[in-house]
Amino acid sequence: MVWYLSMLIFILAGNAAAALAAPTWDLGCHGHDGLGSTASHLLQRTSRMLRSASARDAILQGNEIWGCGSLQIPEVPPLVAAPLRNITWLHFPKAGTSFLATIWNYACSRRMALDLAVSPRAVPGCEQCYDVALMDRYPPDDYCEEGFLSQNFSTQHRPVTSSAVQSDELKVIGMFRRPSQRLISAFHDSCHASGLAEDQYKVLMQECGPNGKNSAGCYARFPGIAGCMSRMLTGGFCAETQFAESSFDGGKAHLEEAIAMVKEMAFVGLTEYWDLSICLFQRMFGGTVNAAQLVDFHEGDSHQDQLYDETQLMGFVDEVDEAIYQAASDRFHELVQ
Shortest reach from residue 122's CB to ligand NAG, in Å: 28
Which pairs from 227-230 meet CB under 8 Å and 24+ separation?
A: 227/251, 227/252, 227/254, 227/318, 227/320, 227/321, 228/92, 228/93, 228/182, 228/321, 229/92, 229/176, 229/179, 229/258, 229/320, 229/321, 229/324, 229/325, 230/254, 230/255, 230/258, 230/320, 230/321, 230/324
Per this entry, what is the length of the chain?
337
Q: What is the full DSSP assignment across 162-201?
A: HHHHHTTSSEEEEEE--HHHHHHHHHHTTS--TT--HHHH
Q: Is 152 in the site for ligand NAG (CB under 6 A)?
A: yes
Cβ contact 304:181 at 8 Å = no
Q: Is 151 in the site for ligand NAG (CB under 6 A)?
A: yes
Q: Please choose, from the candidates 110, 189, 122, the residue with its C-alpha nearest in 3D space to the C-alpha of residue 157.
A: 189
Q: Is 166 in the site for ligand NAG (CB under 6 A)?
A: no
Q: Which stretch binds ligand NAG (CB under 6 A): 10-18, 42-50, 145-153, 213-221?
A: 145-153
Q: Is 85 in the site for ligand NAG (CB under 6 A)?
A: yes
Shortest reach from residue 110's CB to ligand NAG, in Å: 16
Choose between 45 and 85: whose C-beta lies nearer to ligand NAG.
85
Rounded to an integer, what distance in angstroms lies between the CA atom of residue 87 and that of residue 130?
Answer: 19
Helix (H) or strand (E) holding 25: strand 24-26
Choose between 162 and 329: whose C-beta lies nearer to ligand NAG.
162
Choose between 148 and 325: whose C-beta lies nearer to ligand NAG.
148
The residue count for binding ligand NAG (CB under 6 A) is 6
Q: Is 86 in the site for ligand NAG (CB under 6 A)?
A: yes
Q: In this chain, which of 169, 256, 309, 334 binds ligand NAG, going by CB under 6 A?
A: 169
Shortest reach from residue 163's CB to ligand NAG, in Å: 10
Shortest reach from residue 287's CB to ligand NAG, in Å: 16
Shortest reach from residue 279's CB to ligand NAG, in Å: 24
Shortest reach from residue 27's CB to ligand NAG, in Å: 40
Contacts to ligand NAG by CB under 6 A: 85-86, 150-152, 169
